[in-house]
Amino acid sequence: MYAADGVRWSLWITDDAPAAAYPRQRRLRTGFPAGAGTGSLGFRALVELHRNHGGTAPRFVLGGMLATRRGRHLDLDVRESGDDWAGTPFEGPSGVRYQPGLPSEYSCAVQDGCAEELSAGQPVGGTLVIDRAGHMGESSPLLAREAAGLLVRALTVLQRGEDPLAAAVARLGERPGRAGIGSGAGHD
């Protein structure tokens, strides 16, 4: 799924990109109060975010899984790849190539972005694991934080059976009717 406002941002949401997986070197864990979980269900999503800023286009890919369970607690598990790990570059949903991994430069920003979105909403009981990421030279912690919020929003609405792209576009502050939303070749 693809959406863009034509000027400031482009966004892709897919169910997964196994090539964006990386070995875990360190974990950042946080807990949140949550609404009652719905039993054992798993939802996976991956977001790719491009921001256009005066001639540069920073990009970031982030993915994870929300496993719901009965209970009133949500565990957030951000898995960091470490700074020295260098996997095989992969192609994101947009066709852009990324270096896989979540180095420490971005991991705290991802944790903060997830926490911000989880605190603003009504998460369900379970575990949210961030275990897919891709970055490039123009990536930034601020973009990683924004991608994390979009990923949490997408996973939260997926578990409710709603449209993750429309929810993510709304989080970006756009009305879906104004944004170009579609799923054509090269944009799924």
Q: Are the beta carbons of 62 and 14 closer than 8 angstroms?
A: no
How confident is the model over 120-134, as a mean pLDDT?
90
Domain range for 79 is 2-182
Note whether residue 45 is domain-resident. Answer: yes
184 pLDDT higher than 60: no
Note whether residue 188 is domain-resident. Answer: no
Bridge partners of residue 21, in order along the sequence? 132
Note whether residue 152 is domain-resident. Answer: yes
Note whether residue 121 is domain-resident. Answer: yes
Q: Are the beta carbons of 11 and 164 closer than 8 angstroms?
A: no
Q: Are the beta carbons of 128 and 64 closer than 8 angstroms?
A: yes
Note whether residue 114 is domain-resident. Answer: yes
Q: Are the beta carbons of 45 and 63 closer than 8 angstroms?
A: yes
In total, how many domains does the chain have? 1
Tell me the whole-structure pTM to 2 decimals. 0.88
Predicted local distance difference test score (pLDDT) of residue 105: 93
How confident is the model over 133-156, as a mean pLDDT?
94
Q: What does the block give as tokens for 170?
A: 């709304």
Predicted local distance difference test score (pLDDT) of residue 17: 93
Note whether residue 187 is domain-resident. Answer: no
State how far the Cα of 95 lies from the Cα of 11, in Å rounded to an integer: 12
pLDDT digits (tens, 9 = 90+) for 153-181: 999 888 888 999 998 888 887 434 334 44
Note whether residue 116 is domain-resident. Answer: yes
CA–chain centroid gap for 129, Å, is: 11
Question: What phi-psi label fits residue 6: left (phi over 0), alpha (psi between -120 and 50 degrees) or beta?
Answer: left
Predicted local distance difference test score (pLDDT) of residue 177: 38
State how far the Cα of 54 lies from the Cα of 74, in Å rounded to an integer: 39
Check residue 64 and report its DSSP letter: E
